[in-house]
Amino acid sequence: MNSASSRACDCCTGWRAKPAARKASRDYLRRLSSFDPSLGLRPGARIELSHFAAFGESILDKMLLWGGLFDTDSVKFNGLDLIAGQIATHRGGLLICCHLGNLELCRVLSRRQAGLKLTVLLHTKHAARFNQLLAQLDPDSQLNLMQVTELTPGAAMLLAEKISRGEFVAIAGDRIPVSANPRIAMAKFFGAMAPFPVGPYVLASLFQCPVYLIFSFRAAGGSEIHFELFRELIQLPRRSRDQALAACVADYAARLEYFCQRVPLQWFNFYDFWSAPNTDGSHAPH
């Protein structure tokens, strides 16, 4: 058994070994089933195992991508003209991604879209190691990973410079940073209020650039990558800052709902997503 297959099997084994992840999967699938009965998701161990198996398949796809063995020619793009048009202006933008499907498919973009350079912000301390691995596997890759556990003013300036040079920055809109007081806004998600990070929208307001959504996943006819224009510009007036952030989060949650309904077993947030963390009530610095 190769390492990729072994890791996929580990994911399915984790279905039994990690009760917290199983509980999170069960909660998500129950909410989704109640929200959209037409999906035909029958709550139970079988569908939970299928959820974990889909996660294992996504890891296999990542390994194939890293090794250059993934059939990238079969990937279907929707809305890529939006990104091409923005590149033509010689100014970049912000991409809001999520934990749906396989974001590693973004590695395909540099081959399909000339001039595209992408930096993905990660809540991990292993970004440098990943960059080294990607460079070894694909020296021509225009994908760069950057740790953002703490986004300092210096890091924000670096990202702003990238966008001014025509590059794109991607950040997750469905994962709250691990910190004592994460900045969040609440939005309805599959029938109940859930916390979402406001960091992407604060960054976009600082960068004064267009904001796009990206969703990449497996579909019946093969892998797909979808781009949507989210906002031409995000303004956060001092007096209505919280309301503006809440509106952004609500609109994002609605689009995430839509794509989760398209591929319900490919949303891989295996934690208590609907539980609000302790916060100081401040969504972002004023």
pLDDT-based confidence at 18, cuts 50/70/90? confident
What one-letter code names the amino acid at 153?
P
Q: How much is the pLDDT for 7?
A: 43
Q: How much is the pLDDT for 95?
A: 96
Question: DSSP letter string over the chain?
Answer: --HHHHHHHHHHHHHHH-HHHHHHHHHHHHHHHHH-GGG----SHHHHHHHHHHHHHHHHHHHHHHTT-S-GGG-EEESHHHHHHHHHTT--EEEEE-SBB-GGGGGGHHHHSTT--EEEEESSS-HHHHHHHHHHH-TT--EEEEE-SS--HHHHHHHHHHHHTT-EEEEESS---SSSS--EEEEEETTEEEEEE-HHHHHHHHHT--EEEEEEEEETTEEEEEEEEEES-----GGGHHHHHHHHHHHHHHHHHHHHHHSGGGB---S-TTSPPP--S--S--
Q: How much is the pLDDT for 130?
A: 56
Give backbone dihedrals phi and psi of 110, rounded to 5 degrees, phi first.
Answer: -65, -25
Please state, in angstroms and rounded to a whole number, the distance separating the CA atoms of residues 108 and 62. Answer: 12
pTM for this structure?
A: 0.86
Contact in structure between 91 and 117 (CB atoms under 8 Å): no
The first and second tokens of residue 15, run together, are 């279905």
Does residue 8 have a pLDDT over 50?
A: no
Does residue 114 have a pLDDT over 60?
A: yes
Does residue 91 have a pLDDT over 60?
A: yes
Give the tens place of pLDDT for each residue, 177-220.
776 678 899 999 999 999 999 999 999 999 999 999 999 999 98
Give the tens place of pLDDT for each residue, 31-88.
999 999 999 998 899 999 999 999 999 988 888 887 778 888 888 999 999 999 999 9
Contact in structure between 9 and 26 (CB atoms under 8 Å): no
